[in-house]
């Protein structure tokens, strides 16, 4: 069977699809992946045959994908929530398709069309990687969902022995889209006072913009997050869906510093479940970040809540299990 995956060309939208794409390839299916060139390297490393549809760089429109559908003639297309054009082109071509989520169903008004309101590709099931206890209740009640375990993915990297560093180990990231030097510098200043080791993924912020770095802080442009997070005592971050789910899957409490998009809704859901805390724009300071993180390190209540969600995630069907079900969806189930 030939399966085509399609996503926006960004880590937050492409990486959640990679575990299922790998599982589909390992199940013997021929896998292709439509996305902008920014994310081709990790896709190619796993034999997922990436290509750029038409002139797509980040976004993808129906007219970009339509010629590729005619060329490849896939049996099934798996299109993530951020590419409604791919869903619409697939539907018009009469090809079975599945939506693929990247986390909790996001609220209206964040700059992405809601797939649940897409009338150009109606009736398509959703591969849902959010644990049901945190998923949007309306989405749970109305959507045709296929549960899928979120498996954190990072591009291949050299091994690092994070388990041997000083404690507490705190991981700080503001993602790839919303980070600023000012906020990272503030957070580093506060977290460095807690002792232990702070590991920072600077993302789009140039390391040189952060000034003098304390001795117990390691700053990298990019960190193999999936390898690091299971060793962390606390994850301090922006609230992106990938980091949120990665920390939850590892049972690690989180401090949210939400900046935009779906980050506020993610922070709401996790803090309501007791697995983390948050600081909003008017509350941000080095002292506040240090104090909230200190509480998360010392208070086992948040860690226990995170552990319960980690167990819930572990019970969800693994990508290999879901990959075995894909042929029935290609035949209209």
Q: Do 195 and 326 lie in a common domain?
A: no
In this prediction, residues 220-248 reach a mean pLDDT of: 95
* Residue 324 in tokens: 């075995």
Q: Do 134 and 171 lie in a common domain?
A: no
pLDDT at 102 over 90: yes
pLDDT digits (tens, 9 = 90+) for 257-306: 999 889 999 999 999 999 999 999 899 999 999 999 999 999 899 999 99
Q: Please indicate, yes or no, if residue 155 is contained in any of the structural domains.
A: no
Q: Please indicate, yes or no, if residue 140 is contained in any of the structural domains.
A: yes
Backbone angles phi, psi at 286, to 5 degrees: -60, -40
Q: Please indicate, yes or no, if residue 156 is contained in any of the structural domains.
A: no
* Residue 286 in tokens: 């080095």
Report the C-alpha gap between 112 and 252 in whole angstroms.
Answer: 29
Q: Do 242 and 117 lie in a common domain?
A: no
CB contact at 8 A, 217 and 200: yes
Contacts for 273-282: CB closer than 8 Å, 24+ residues apart: 273/133, 273/134, 273/305, 273/309, 274/301, 274/302, 274/305, 275/248, 275/302, 275/305, 275/306, 275/309, 276/247, 276/302, 276/306, 277/302, 278/239, 279/255
Task: Indicate which CATH number applies to the domain containing 241.
Answer: 3.40.50.2000
Contacts for 323-327: CB closer than 8 Å, 24+ residues apart: 323/20, 323/23, 323/24, 323/26, 323/27, 323/29, 324/27, 325/146, 326/1, 326/3, 326/24, 326/27, 326/29, 326/76, 327/1, 327/75
Q: How confident is the model at residue 333 (pLDDT cuts 50, 70, 90)?
A: low
Write down the pTM of the prediction: 0.95
Q: Do 142 and 61 lie in a common domain?
A: yes
pLDDT at 331 over 90: no
Report the DSSP pairing between strands 197-201 and 217-220: parallel
Report DSSP letters for 151-210, one per residue: -----------GGGS-SSEEEEE-TTTS--HHHHHHHHHHHGGG-SEEEEE-TTS-GGGG
Q: Do 15 and 138 lie in a common domain?
A: yes
**pLDDT above 70 as % of the chain:** 98
Q: Do 133 and 252 lie in a common domain?
A: no
Give the range among 109-123, 156-170, 223-237 with minimum mean pLDDT: 156-170
Q: Please indicate, yes or no, if residue 12 is contained in any of the structural domains.
A: yes
Q: What is the mean pLDDT of the chain?
A: 94
CB contact at 8 A, 298 and 262: no
Residue 117's SS3 state is helix
pLDDT digits (tens, 9 = 90+) for 175-233: 888 889 999 999 999 999 999 999 999 998 998 899 999 999 999 999 999 999 999 99
Q: Do 189 and 47 lie in a common domain?
A: no
**pLDDT above 90 as % of the chain:** 87
Report the C-alpha gap between 188 and 107 in whole angstroms.
Answer: 30
Q: Do 61 and 174 lie in a common domain?
A: no
Q: What is the pLDDT of residue 179?
A: 82
Range(s) of the domain holding residue 197:
162-314
Q: Do 103 and 223 lie in a common domain?
A: no
pLDDT at 18 over 80: yes
* Residue 81 in tokens: 């929530």
Q: Do 112 and 170 lie in a common domain?
A: no
pLDDT digits (tens, 9 = 90+) for 117-157: 999 999 999 999 999 999 999 999 999 999 999 999 987 76
Q: What is the pLDDT of residue 178?
A: 81
Q: Which residue has the tokens 């085509």?
A: 4
Q: What is the pLDDT of residue 150?
A: 98
* Residue 191 in tokens: 């977290």
Q: Do 146 and 8 lie in a common domain?
A: yes
Report the C-alpha gap between 40 and 126 in whole angstroms.
Answer: 24
Report the C-alpha gap between 157 and 161 in whole angstroms.
Answer: 12
Q: What is the pLDDT of residue 159?
A: 63
CB contact at 8 A, 319 and 22: yes
Residue partners of 129: CB distance under 8 A and separation at least 6? 16, 100, 101, 102, 103, 148, 149, 150, 245, 316
Q: What is the pLDDT of residue 158?
A: 64
Report the C-alpha gap between 62 and 236 in whole angstroms.
Answer: 37
CB contact at 8 A, 277 and 255: yes
When divided into structural domains, the chain yields a total of 2
Q: What is the CA radius of gyration of the chain?
A: 20
Q: How confident is the model at residue 172 (pLDDT cuts 50, 70, 90)?
A: very high
Q: What is the pLDDT of residue 75?
A: 98
Report the C-alpha gap between 88 and 95 in whole angstroms.
Answer: 10
Q: Do 74 and 64 lie in a common domain?
A: yes
In this prediction, residues 90-94 reach a mean pLDDT of: 97
């Amino acid at each position: 069977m030939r399966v085509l995956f399609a996503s926006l060309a960004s880590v937050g939208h492409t990486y959640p699809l990679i575990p299922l794409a790998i599982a589909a390839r390992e199940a013997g299916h021929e896998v292709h992946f439509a996305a902008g060139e920014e994310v081709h390297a990790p896709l190619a490393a796993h034999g997922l045959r990436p290509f750029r549809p038409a002139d797509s760089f980040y976004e993808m429109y129906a007219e970009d994908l339509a010629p590729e559908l005619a060329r490849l003639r896939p049996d099934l297309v798996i299109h993530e929530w951020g590419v409604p054009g791919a869903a619409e082109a697939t539907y018009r071509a009469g090809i079975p398709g599945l939506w693929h989520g990247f986390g909790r169903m996001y609220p209206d008004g964040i700059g992405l069309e809601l797939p649940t309101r897409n009338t150009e590709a109606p009736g398509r099931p959703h591969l849902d990687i959010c644990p049901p206890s945190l998923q949007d209740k309306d989405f749970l009640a109305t959507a045709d969902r296929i549960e899928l375990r979120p498996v954190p993915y990072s591009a291949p990297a050299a091994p690092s022995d994070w388990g041997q560093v000083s404690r507490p180990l705190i991981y700080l990231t503001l993602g790839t889209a919303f980070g600023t030097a000012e906020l990272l510098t503030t957070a580093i200043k506060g977290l460095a006072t807690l002792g232990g080791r702070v590991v920072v993924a600077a993302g789009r912020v140039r390391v040189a913009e952060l000034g003098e770095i304390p001795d117990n802080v390691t700053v990298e442009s990019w960190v193999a997050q999936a390898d690091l997070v299971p060793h962390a005592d606390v994850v301090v971050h922006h609230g992106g869906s990938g980091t949120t789910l990665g920390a939850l899957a590892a049972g690690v409490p989180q401090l949210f510093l939400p900046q935009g998009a779906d980050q506020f809704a993610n922070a709401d859901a996790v803090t309501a479940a007791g697995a983390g805390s948050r600081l909003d724009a008017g509350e941000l300071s080095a002292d506040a970040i240090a104090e909230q993180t200190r509480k998360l390190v010392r208070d086992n209540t948040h860690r226990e809540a995170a552990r319960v969600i980690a167990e819930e995630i572990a019970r969800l069907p693994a990508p290999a299990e879901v990959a075995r079900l894909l042929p029935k969806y290609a035949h209209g189930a």
